[in-house]
Chains A and B, each alone.
Chain A
Amino acid sequence: MAQLIQEKEYLYWLSQIPSVGAVTIKRLWDRYGSFEKIYNIEEKELRKEKLLKGRIGAGFDQWKGHVEEILETYRSLEEKGIHYVTFLDEGYPERLRPLYGSPAGLYVKGKLPEEHRPSAAVVGARSCSHYGKETAKFLASSLAGAGVQVVSGMALGIDGAGHQGALEAGGDTYGVLGCGVDICYPQSHFSMYMEIPEKGGIISEYSPGVSPEARNFPMRNRIISGLSDVVIVVEAREKSGSLITADCGLEQGKEIFAVPGRITDSLSRGCNELIRQGAGIVTSPEDILDFFQIQMNKKLRVDEKNENGLAKNEKMVYSCLDLQPKFIDRVVEESGLSLGECLTLLLELELKGRIVQTTSCYYAKKL
């Protein structure tokens, strides 16, 4: 062989065998302590040792024939701006090392979360309410502003809003994907996908080119919680992927926080259930910052009235709104103004960035 193959490259080769997962790799490593050694052992041997069982490691010997091609792709990773960080490296996140089933290697675009700075996962439902989105954005931006690293899954809804908030505050944020890091999923988050690696990173345990399959997502949740010190669930239904993240976090000994909701909202049922089970309650970013013992100079309050700089009429309309989107008809009734006036004022407020039109003709305050 032209080049001396390093341990890390052998590990890369091993991780390319589809049926070999993180746990198997760990088991083999614990037994032999060298991936070169593992490469040179025959499948029969490994099976005799009961290190490979059933389907796991099927075709182990055949894969040795592909080692050249595999190493080819390995060497082209850096050209694509993707770092491969394994547990053999120093840069591997210390937060992940002690976990059972921690990934043997991570593909990273950008960088990994820093070890000595606090990090928080902001997760929740994909089809969320406007209220949930705003809350996630607000929490994430306050946390990022205070120097907390925000980790999430880059999914639609809450996850995306979390990243968005952190980016808006100029903080670093980390997206853990259920597909290869070279694939932007969902596509509508493309601008976010491009922006995140500038300061933070996009992370995945799946090799580049792996498509976003449903079964990958519960697996990546363990990395989201693993990379964080606290997990904040903003909105989740009763059976939700976000609860898997929370469960992973619990197993990993992370602190779980949930944003409480009204008992009638199905989107808050998961959160309220978490609180019943003893999760911390988040009513403001301070709850999280207190946990990290970070002092904030500015008092952050969610319900802070912010009517400064508005004309009298605008105030009348603005005060009718809250975080729950309100239909235009209700605004007309409550403000007592005519429909035409309301539409004019709402449009102006929207341009000023004080309110948003969540879908057409439904208006809500911005946090």
Chain B
Amino acid sequence: MFCKVNSVGLRGMEGYSVSVEVDVGEGLPGMTMVGVLSSEVREAQDRVRTALKNSGYHFRPRKVTVNLSPADIRKGGTGFDFPIAVGMLCAYEILDAQNLKDAVLIGELGLNGELKPVKGILSMVSRARTDGYCRCFLPKENAGEGRAIKGIQIVGVENLRQMAEFMVFPHRLSTAGEEEDTEDGEETDDYETDYAQVQGQILMKRATEVAVAGYHNLLYIGPAGGGKTMVAERIPTIMPSCTPEECLEISKVYSICGLLPDRGKLLRRRPFRSPHHSITGRALTGGGRNPVPGEMSLASGGVLFLDEFPEFSKHTIDMMRQPLEKKKVVLSRVSGSFEFPADFMLVAAMNPCQCGYYPDRNRCRCSEQQVRRYLGRISKPILDRIDICVEAAPVSFEELQNVRPQESSGEIRGRVEAARKIQAERFKGMGISFNSEMKEEQIREYCGLKKSDEQFFRQIYENMNLSARAYGRILKVSRTIADLAGEEHIDHGHLCEAISYRSLEDKYWHN
């Protein structure tokens, strides 16, 4: 007999509906599976048969055909085990598929018939809801995660036996969903780290605040042990807290990678990713035949921190060029193109020279050329996209000893949020939301200088040999500084501060 069960597959960031069709009929006994299957799906037949046997079901030897439709999309993942098993039970007429018309089944099977969690539940459940299904049968461990999507009933299932009970006694379903809802606590958005813990580093902290406020990319230069990583790690604590939509977006990526820290809870904190410099291009962008998100997508909504920036391979770094512009990664495969989010703030850190001590001439023996060569390793196109560049100094003994109360992250976040609000207001309906995204016309419109400052800026421009790109960057940053101060016009102080944050290229390559 023929039977159809609904499931969802994962393709990039999105789920897509799959009908699992099972037919039991006359013929040479055996099991055939079709529908462009990857090897983990093909292996399902052994898992399913054994799981059914160990759950106490015995089948007459028949010809079993399983088709996963649409048959032209390559299917991966282990989430189809469960629907195939239930489909077989129905096709052998052991159970009735009537109750499953408006339901979706996802899950991996163990050989003992137990359901195991799968990756990407968030995307799959939200697809099921969009497609109009009203119930979702998930492995128990994924149930909490599924419940993050509202408007669809989630039923956590432990094993095949329990599933059979649900199908035989449908009235049990009405209560099945709610049993754990009470303990569905959400992860808090409190961070363990705080800027109050960082002594000194006035310049670095201030530049970081400006960078976060205007969503500018940031580069720290300083000796080892100067606190670059410490300051960078705390950036998420001063970013505005996530809206529920953002939480869902961020959590989806982590769900697909199987990285949700505690299954069942959405991420409330902004991510901070700090990949090692040996990372490959694929790991950064995401990849694979069935593409999975990379570090850039995992950092989306938060911070991508690249420590020891010059040590990253140029090739790898250059892969960030387009995503930095478009705020998403697009991977093209024969089967179509896949989009992953990449809306992150790039924060890089590096030593000023090979030995790390420049400009302390007592310790650094690198020649000017060596210093230049070291700095020259950084890809220029990426440098172009970094608006703010600051120095970190070694921490003095006094600073370590005189522990003074420092501003907390909360206070800084307050200012950042206010500045973001001003920007949102300004760019309403323009398709951008931050100062860093301004184009030439917008810079001209919103970054006007006073007459005296124009004169001053011209003098600086000529004296310091700035480039045209630097001109735009400095104006954008001074706009952010003015927003932080709540001023409508950019004044002299704002401009001066922005000039001090000018990019590495302008600081080192020209003078």
Contact = CB atoms under 8 A, between A and B. Distances in A.
A359 B368 contact: no
Interface string A126-155: 111110100000000000000000000000
A351 B459 contact: yes
B362 A127 contact: no
A329 B368 contact: no
B500 interface: yes
A362 B368 CA distance: 16
Interface string A310-352: 0000000000000001011110110000011101101110010
B499 A347 contact: yes
Contacts of B352: 359
B15 interface: no
Contacts, number: 87
A156 B390 CA distance: 27
A341 B236 CA distance: 27
Interface residues of B, number: 34
A327 B460 contact: no
A361 interface: yes
B230 interface: no
A356 B380 CA distance: 26
B390 A126 contact: no
Given A126-B367, A360-B391, A329 B200 contact: yes
B361 A267 contact: yes
Given A325-B359, A328-B203, A351-B460, A156 B367 contact: yes
Interface in B81-139: none
B391 A362 contact: yes
B496 A344 contact: yes
B202 A266 contact: no
Contacts of B368: 127, 156, 188
B366 A127 contact: yes
A351 B461 CA distance: 11
A358 interface: yes
B365 interface: yes
Contact of B359 (A132, A266, A346, A359): A359
Nearest to B361: A129
A265 interface: yes
A294 to B, nearest CB: 32
Contacts of B393: 327-330, 361
B201 A340 contact: no
Nearest to A187: B369
B493 A340 contact: yes
Contacts of B460: 347, 351
Interface of B: 200-203, 206, 221, 352, 358-359, 361-362, 364-368, 389-391, 393, 396, 459-460, 463, 481, 492-494, 496-497, 499-500, 507-508
Q: Can you list the 8 inter-chain pairs with the closest CB atoms, starting with the nearest? A: A327-B393, A344-B496, A361-B391, A129-B361, A360-B507, A359-B359, A343-B500, A347-B496
